[in-house]
Structures are given as structure tokens and as C-alpha cells.
Structure 1
Amino acid sequence: MTLPPQPGPPAERSPRAIPEATVSRLAIYLRVLGQLAEGGAETVSSEELAAVSGVNSAKLRKDLSHIGSYGIRGVGYDVASLQHELEKVLGLDHPQRVALVGVGNLGHALAGYGGFGGRGFPVTALFDVDPDLVGVPLGGIEVHHVRDIAAVVPAAGVTIGMIATPAQAAQAVCDELVAAGVRSILNFAPAVLQVPEEVEVRKVDLAVELQVLAFHVARRSGGITEGVATVSPVVNGRHGSAVGLS
């Protein structure tokens, strides 16, 4: 007699995909919750959280449903619990160590910004090629030469790289970071980086942001006719995003 097939172990459920736009808003909700917690708030309604975050309550509830958080009718959300859940989803339940490459004017400001460490992104490694900077401590962290990325980055447990170099050096620096195991990069250099599919790149171009604002200034003053120009996202590299003019 042939025995019926025995059921195997239950299949693991794959994590629900969260849209990138939602992820960006989750980060905003987390920041607002931190401010509420500092003010002593224990609960917050979806309407209150949405208003402070700059979205409508329906969008907020839909965003939070992606992480399985629905709040309690008539009460809202427990601030501490939702804060903890968002930290887990965003990978902030443990520090994400950051390496900064390029310690010029912008890089120096980034290295000295205390808000990174306070939000779980301590800068643990600094790199440059300027002989006047290499070997000098900045904020208690020694500046290494760029050629030492391969050795220093893994030893420091770096998970995120920030690039603040001139445009012509950005791709080579990016390649060094990727080769050292970094899979998430924040790019401040005015250059489009080419990266493998598994590497995430976010681009911050302050000049482009000013150009977008100039566009809106001109439109309001009548210099641009509605419908003539459009603003759209610019994709950076093979996998990542930025905001700019198309």
C-alpha cells in the first residue's frame, strides 16, 4: 500500500515588500515619535502623527499596515512600542557604522555632525588623500588614506559608506567601498555612480535641490508656463535613487 505523502515543515513566510516611498515616510514617523517621546507623550493618534509628519491619516495608516501596526481604536498608537517597531524595520535596533570618504569642507561638516551618532549612525572611519589630513584625528577619529579602505572598513564593521569627494574621484572610491563589503552608499559627490545590483545608492546633490527650488520660484513669478517643464526623480546608478531635474 502506498502511504500518502507526509506534510513537510511549514514554509517560511517571506517578508512583505515595503515600497521605497513608504520606507522614506517610516523614517519621518520615527523622527516624530522620538520627539514625542522626549516630550513625555505615551500615545498618539493617527491624525496627530500624520499632521506632524506632513501626510494625511489614511496614508499614515496604510504605511504602518506594512509593518503590521494598526493602533487601537479610540487610543491610537503606543509611542514607545511603535518607535521600537520602526527601529527594527529600518535596521536601527543596532548601530549602522559609517565610513566617510572625503574630508574637505563638506566632509568635515559631515564628520562633525553629532546627529548621525545620536540616531544610530556613528561615523567610525574617515578617509582622504590629502597628506595634511591623513593621520590627523578629527572628532577623535584618525583620518586614513583612501588606499586603506580595504583593510579599515571591514575591521571597523562599516555597513554604510558616505562619499563627499570631488566628482572625478567618486567612482573609484565607490568601487573601493563595494570591494570592501559595503552595500549601502550615500553619495554627496556630483557624479552618477555605477554599482552592482545588490548595492543601494542614495544621492544627495545640493545644487540640484537649489535648481528645483529655482524652478518653483520662476514658476510662481510667471517665468515658466505650467506644463512646459516637469520635475521627476532621477535614478542614480543601477540600484538607488536621487531627486533632481529630468
Structure 2
Amino acid sequence: MTLEIPEVVINRLPVYARALADLAARGETVVSSQALGELLDVTPAQIRKDLSYFGRFGKQGRGYNVQGLLHRLREILGIDRQWRLCLVGVGRLGQAIAEYGGFGPQGFHIVAAFDANPAVVGKHVGGVEVQDIARLDEYLAHNRVDIGIVAVPAAEAQDVVDRLVRGGIRAILNYAPVTAHVPPGVSIRHIDPVLAMQSMTYYIKRSEPAGAK
């Protein structure tokens, strides 16, 4: 029987890996769960519990080997290899995504970009030529793509997601301001800064004096 690992645990692993990478870059060789927790505002018990899903790490009283734990987390997350990304939607947001320099060093490479706007098609962004979205299905049929990035208007998002799924993509990052649906076996993450800010205003409002506006 396969152990079901909570999604919230999976979401914390990249945070741990990034912190460990920073420690390694500073020459640190060992870190305790207490010290790691203080860096990330997570309790040491939570860190130990999260890691316990994947085996035994570190020794009581001695902490974790930074390089060893980082290497294992990279294996678990699959970020010890290169991943091919396809961007659909090259408006202002899409251009910013394509030109963001943080993907490559982490093994994520945008290998193709598509848009429906003739004024954009043929231009180069982030080192790739923007292709007509009419060619998306054909491209996916003949090229390996691991992750799809959707940065199109809300009304077009579901259709694009459906096309990516039919093309064999099993992981999608959706920046469109709408909840797109995928079949079982396909992972999708919705990135919407407006929703994030709206949840933050709840906490601001709760801390205000009664009746304040």
C-alpha cells in the first residue's frame, strides 16, 4: 500500500530545498531542525514530520547534513534533471514569464511559446520564437513537453488547458484568472495574485479597530 503524502507537505519540500541550497552556498555543512525552522518560520517538529514521509534523515543531536539532505530532496522533487516547458500566451504577463531568468538555473527551460496575436507571432521572447497557437497541437504531437504554462485571458484558458492535456502534458501552471479543470492524472496549479491579495486583506481587516474603514 502506497503512503498518501499530504499536498501541503509536498508544497513545503521546495521551500526546504531552497533554504538548504542557500546554506550550502554559505559553506554550512550541518543544520539542525531548530535552525532550519527558524529560517523558514516552521516548527522543528513540522520539519521532522514532513521529512519522515520520505525516510530517515539526520541524527538526533547532530542535525542534518546539508548537502546530503539537499541532494535527496532534489531527487524526491525531480529537480535533479532538466524539464521542458511550453508557454501559451505571450502578452505582457507571458513575456515577463518567458524573460524571467530564474527558471533555467533550476532546470526549467521554456522550449516553445505560442500566441494568437499576429503582431506577436514570429517575435523572440526569452530566447524562443513565438509560434502561432494554431500550431500548438502539431508541436505537442512531435516534441516532448513536461509542463505547460497558461497565460491567456480567462475566456480562453480552459480550451488551452484541454489542448495541452490532449497533447500529453500532465502538469500545468495556470496564470489565467479562472479555475481551469483537468482530468485525473493531470496536475494543475493556479497562480492568481489578486486572489492572494484578497485573502490578505481579510487579515488586515480583522486587525483593524471595530468600525474602521
With normalisation by structure 1, the TM-score equals 0.81
* Residue aligned with 1:142, SS: strand
**Partner residue of 1:97?**
84
The amino acid across from 1:52 in the alignment is L
Alpha-carbon shift at residue 57 of structure 1 (Å): 0.2
**Partner residue of 2:59?**
72
- Do 2:100 and 2:126's aligned partners in 1 also have CA atoms closer than 8 Å? no
With normalisation by structure 2, the TM-score equals 0.93
**Partner residue of 2:149?**
162
Within the alignment, does 1:213 sit opposite 2:200 as a pair?
Answer: yes
The amino acid across from 1:83 in the alignment is L
The structure-2 alpha-carbon separation of the partners of 1:156 and 1:78, relative to structure 1 and needing over 3 Å to count, comes to farther
Within the alignment, does 1:109 sit opposite 2:96 as a pair?
Answer: yes
Alpha-carbon shift at residue 17 of structure 1 (Å): 2.7
The structure-2 alpha-carbon separation of the partners of 1:224 and 1:103, relative to structure 1 and needing over 3 Å to count, comes to farther
| Structure 1: distance between partners of 2:31 and 2:147 | 32
**Partner residue of 1:47?**
34
Alpha-carbon shift at residue 224 of structure 1 (Å): 7.9
The structure-2 alpha-carbon separation of the partners of 1:219 and 1:153, relative to structure 1 and needing over 3 Å to count, comes to same
The amino acid across from 1:146 in the alignment is I
Write the mapping of 1:112-151 to structure 2, written as runs, cut at 5 A.
112-151=99-138
| Structure 2: distance between partners of 1:92 and 1:224 | 49
Where structure 2 has 5 or more consecutive residues not aligned to the other structure, the ranges are: none
Segment of structure 1 superposing worse, 166-175 or 150-159: 150-159
**Partner residue of 1:244?**
none
Within the alignment, does 1:62 sit opposite 2:52 as a pair?
Answer: no
Within the alignment, does 1:178 sit opposite 2:165 as a pair?
Answer: yes
| Structure 2: distance between partners of 1:136 and 1:153 | 20
Where structure 1 has 5 or more consecutive residues not aligned to the other structure, the ranges are: 1-13, 226-246
Alpha-carbon shift at residue 45 of structure 1 (Å): 0.9
| Structure 2: distance between partners of 1:223 and 1:117 | 48
**Partner residue of 1:5?**
none
Larger RCO, structure (CA 8 Å, separation 6 or more): 2
| Structure 2: distance between partners of 1:32 and 1:105 | 31
Structure that is richer in helix per residue: 2
**Partner residue of 1:193?**
180
Within the alignment, does 1:24 sit opposite 2:11 as a pair?
Answer: yes
Seq. identity, %: 41
The structure-2 alpha-carbon separation of the partners of 1:115 and 1:154, relative to structure 1 and needing over 3 Å to count, comes to farther
Alpha-carbon shift at residue 61 of structure 1 (Å): 0.4
- Do 1:125 and 1:156's aligned partners in 2 also have CA atoms closer than 8 Å? no
Cα displacement string for residues 207-228 of structure 1 (whole angstroms, at most 9, x for unaligned residues) = 1111112222221113689xxx
| Structure 1: distance between partners of 2:178 and 2:103 | 23
| Structure 2: distance between partners of 1:58 and 1:69 | 14
Count how many residue pairs are aligned between Structure 1 and Structure 2: 212
The amino acid across from 2:117 in the alignment is D
- Do 2:172 and 2:189's aligned partners in 1 also have CA atoms closer than 8 Å? yes
> Bigger radius of gyration, 1 or 2?
1
| Structure 2: distance between partners of 1:223 and 1:210 | 21
The structure-2 alpha-carbon separation of the partners of 1:224 and 1:124, relative to structure 1 and needing over 3 Å to count, comes to farther
